[in-house]
Amino acid sequence: MNIALIGNPNCGKTTLFNALTGLDQHVGNFPGVTVEKKTGSVRGAEGWFAVDLPGAYSLAAFSAEEKISEEYMLYGAPDVVLNILDATALQRGLYLTVQLLELGLPVVVALNMMDEAEKMGIKINAQLLEKYLQVPVKPICANSGEGIDELVASLKNVGKQAGKKSFQYPAYSGKTGEAAREILSMILQNKTSGSFNRLFFALRMLQGDKPAVPVLKLPPEEMKQIERITSAMEQALKVDRQLAVVQMRYAYIDEICRKACRYTKRESGVKWQFDSLATGKLLAFPLFILIMFGVFWFTFGPVGGRVSQMAEQGVAYLSAQLAILLQNWQLAPWLCSFICDGLLSGVGSVLAFLPTVLILFLLLGILEDSGYMARVAFILDRPMRAFGLSGRSAVPLLMGFGCTVPAVLSTRTLASERDRKITTLLVPFMSCSAKLPIYAVFAAAFFQGNKVLVAAPLYLGGILIGLLYALVFKNNSLRAKEPPFVLELPAYRFPSTKNLMHSLRRRAMDFLKKAFTVILLASATVWFLQHFDFAFTYLQDASQSMLAALGKKAAPLFAPLGFGDWRAATALLTGLAAKESVISTLNILTQGAGPRVVFTSASACAFLTFTMFYMPCAAAASTIRKTLGKSGSAALAMLAQTGIAWLLAYFVYKIALVLL
């Protein structure tokens, strides 16, 4: 049995999905977190599978992720539909509910966030709501798990009755309801319509929805009859056919809400008082800059720096102890070198920065969970319009500071194909967390005490260059009519400790998985190439190795940037697998001596600039290729970005030679 979870964006679908399946999908307090359907087995129900669908306000798709939900509902044939409603915005959520009922599907309604609704003075009578909708309605709180057991029991009960019980369509009244029932009767009598004898398709025909015509396969005479029915309805109501259907649905919803809901007090004004700062014309940008500076200061300043230093000391201690242990075992020198100088040195140099990465993710998670991220998208809409983008592009770009892969995937929430493509091209200009170890190591080596002043220009420079890059596409072939900017501002909430811990655990596991797979393999490969020549002879002099030969081929490309050393070129090449490999490779090639062996202060600035902007890792490049849909376009984008990185690094090097 397949249970389809569907509801408005940010209504708690994924939180409920995690509660039902025991999985750990990402949740956040802004619309558009889920961009593709995810499937998991329901705990305690053998053979039952839950499908988490992207958020949708209706079954008339406006964006790419809504299209996924619409098509699954229409053609995916779910056994049971679990419709999640935000109890604090019941009227809006019920619009999707009545469309599901029009499809005649087995529906169970989960009234989520009942605790928040009560705080806002909203009293919902679930029994009355169940009576009027004629489907089970279960109050729950997905965050705490309250009501989940009762919900699962209801799902099982409805699932057993699926196909046996006939579900009632909404009892629409008025001229529009009469016209819809008349068209439905025609569809039911037409045998070529197959299984599409649903009120939803009748209403689509009433609205003049062209995609519904080939699905129903109605003969020309019946199509003419439908047009006569529609025209008569428009004349009687004096409104457009599309608006007539919308008004009918909302009239039905309003009547249900009037009977099943009571409002005892207004929401606290604290939210709106803060919103006057967070979204106001005068203070919104200064507040945003102050908050982001605070994030960077906390990550790289005294707190993050101290934690990172402790982690480095811990890794160094473990490395020393392991080296002593291996010496006591009297292993072959080459094997000791492979384990200590290759594997441990490479992976350990990256693991030391895990706390720094987690601090950054914790702070970004707090901003996301609190609801502030959506306000950032709102305030950035106007300036981003100047670069041919909408404020919705701000969310994927901000996610790019964490990881490029999910950030590119989140571009699917953007309404227009043009915005999706341009934003996908801009995401790699945002400095992902994998580059944090590079910044930290170079800042400690060359700019001790000024880590924040090193990291902040790189982050801000990425944003600026990315926006300037967007201007290239503003008036070219990607130019198109700008879609309307529609964004739901979620309620402010105290960040959930559970969600934050889940997020940090997932990020930590992703980091460790990469460290012990990609980076471990890269470290082993680098050590092997560093210690053997092409005749596979073990060497003491790394300058005669295969790695040196390969690095020397690429080194001339970087000589104008001040780092023509083959070790720097090799580190950049391994960074194509994973950006963390840049530091692990340098650590192996310099035998732990650090970047001062290879770079000067001026060339270090150029190297940081190049690593900030050159093409992303293989996983991100693959995701970009899939999103753009063309390998040629993705390859051209990667080459263009690397070319920009080279030019910027060149200018930074020349300026640094004068200033440093």
Return the CATH number at 130.
3.40.50.300
Answer whether residue 84 shows pLDDT above 90.
yes
CATH of the domain at 221: 1.10.287.1770
Cα–Cα separations (whole angstroms), residue 259 to 246, 255, 264, 388: 20, 6, 14, 46
Answer whether 570's CB lies under 8 Å from 556's CB: no
- Residue 271 maps to a domain: no
Same domain, 155 and 255: no
Judging by beta carbons within 10 Å of its beta carbon (0-12, 13-18, 19+), is residue 414 exposed, middle or buried? buried
**Boundary residue ending a domain (161, 194, 222):** 161
> What confidence tier does 29 reach under pLDDT thresholds 50, 70, 90?
very low
The answer to whether residue 273 sits within a structural domain is: no
Distance CA 141, CA 146 (A): 5
Close Cβ partners of 452 (under 8 Å, ≥ 6 residues apart):
296, 297, 300, 301
Judge whether residue 30 has pLDDT over 50.
no
Q: What confidence category does residue 231 fall into, taking pLDDT thresholds of 50, 70 and 90?
A: very high
| Residue 552 covered by a domain | yes
Q: Do 235 and 293 belong to one domain?
A: no
- For residue 274, being part of any structural domain is answered with no
User: Is there a contact between 139 and 130 (Cβ–Cβ < 8 Å)?
Assistant: no
For residues 50-62, give the mean pLDDT: 84
Higher pLDDT pick, 294 / 244: 244
Report the domain count for the chain. Answer: 3
- Mean pLDDT of the region 197-224: 79
Same domain, 248 and 306: no
pLDDT value of position 138: 94
Q: Is residue 518 part of a domain?
A: yes
| Contact predicate 40/518, CB 8 Å | no
Kindly indicate the confidence band of residue 478, based on its pLDDT and cuts at 50, 70 and 90: low
Q: 479, 287, 276, 489: which is closest to 392 by C-alpha? A: 489
Q: Based on the fold, state whether residues 203 and 129 are members of the same structural domain.
A: no
Does a structural domain hold residue 497? no
| Angstrom distance (rounded) from CA 135 to CA 114 | 18
Are residues 325 and 248 both part of a single domain?
no
User: Could you tell me if residue 119 is inside a domain?
Assistant: yes
> In one letter, which amino acid is 371?
G
Res. 513: pLDDT tops 70: yes
Q: What is the residue range of 612's domain?
A: 285-492+503-659
Strands (E), 363-454: none
pLDDT at 565 over 60: yes
Task: Tell me if 603 sits within 8 A of 653, measured CB to CB.
Answer: yes
Read off the pLDDT band of 269 (50, 70, 90).
very low
Do 435 and 560 have their domain in common?
A: yes
pLDDT tens digits for 87-123? 988 999 999 999 999 988 889 999 998 888 888 888 9
The yes-or-no verdict on residue 271 having pLDDT over 80 is no
Cβ burial, residue 652 (10 Å; 0-12/13-18/19+): buried
Q: Please tell me whether residues 140 and 192 are part of one structural domain.
A: no
Confidence of residue 196 (pLDDT cuts 50, 70, 90): low
Q: What is the dihedral of CA 322, 328, 332, 335, to 10 degrees?
A: -10
Q: Same structural domain for residues 645 and 558?
A: yes
CA dist list (Å): 277 to 235, 285, 373, 444: 48, 9, 14, 37
pTM of the entire predicted model? 0.68
Q: Do both 113 and 179 map to the same domain?
A: no
What number of CA atoms fall less than 13 Å from residue 266's CA on the CB side?
5
What residues contact residue 82 under an 8 Å CB cut-off, 6+ apart?
3, 4, 5, 6, 16, 50, 107, 108, 110, 151, 155
User: What is the CA angle 29-98-162, rounded to 5?
Assistant: 100
Please indicate, yes or no, whether residues 250 and 294 belong to a single structural domain of this protein.
no
Residue type at position 609: T
Rounded to whole angstroms, the Cα distance separating 611 from 454 reads 14
Give me the sign of the Cα torsion angle 651, 653, 656, 658. negative
Gap between the Cα atoms of 656 and 604, Å rounded: 9
Stronger pLDDT, 148 or 31, i.e. the higher one? 148
Taking residues 318-346, report their average pLDDT: 79
- The residue with greater pLDDT, 419 or 193, is 419
Q: How far, CA to CA in Å, does 594 sit from each of 442, 563, 599, 611? A: 9, 14, 9, 17
Least confident of 100-114, 165-179, 349-363: 349-363
- Parallel, antiparallel or unpaired: strands 122-124 and 261-263: antiparallel
In terms of domains, do 569 and 651 share one?
yes
DSSP letters for 219-254: -HHHHHHHHHHHHHHHHHHTS-HHHHHHHHHHHHHH
Cα separations (Å) of 523 from 190, 316, 351, 491, 533? Answer: 68, 17, 13, 46, 17
For residue 641, give both structure tokens.
């970005």
Any bridge partners for residue 139, and if so which? 111
Which residues, other chains included, contact 195 with Cβ-Cβ below 8 Å and sequence gap of 6+?
A: none
Instruction: Give the Cα separation of 530 and 526 in Å (integer).
Output: 6
In sequence order, the 6+-apart residues with CB closer than 8 A to the CB of 4 are 51, 53, 72, 73, 76, 78, 80, 81, 82
Looking at the structure, do residues 185 and 154 belong to the same domain, yes or no? no
> To the nearest 10°, the Cα dihedral for 71, 72, 74, 79?
180
Q: Which stretch of 267-276, 370-379, 423-432, 499-508 has the lowest confidence by average pLDDT?
A: 267-276
Please report, as a single letter, which amino acid is at residue 658. Answer: V
Residue 280 lies in a domain: no
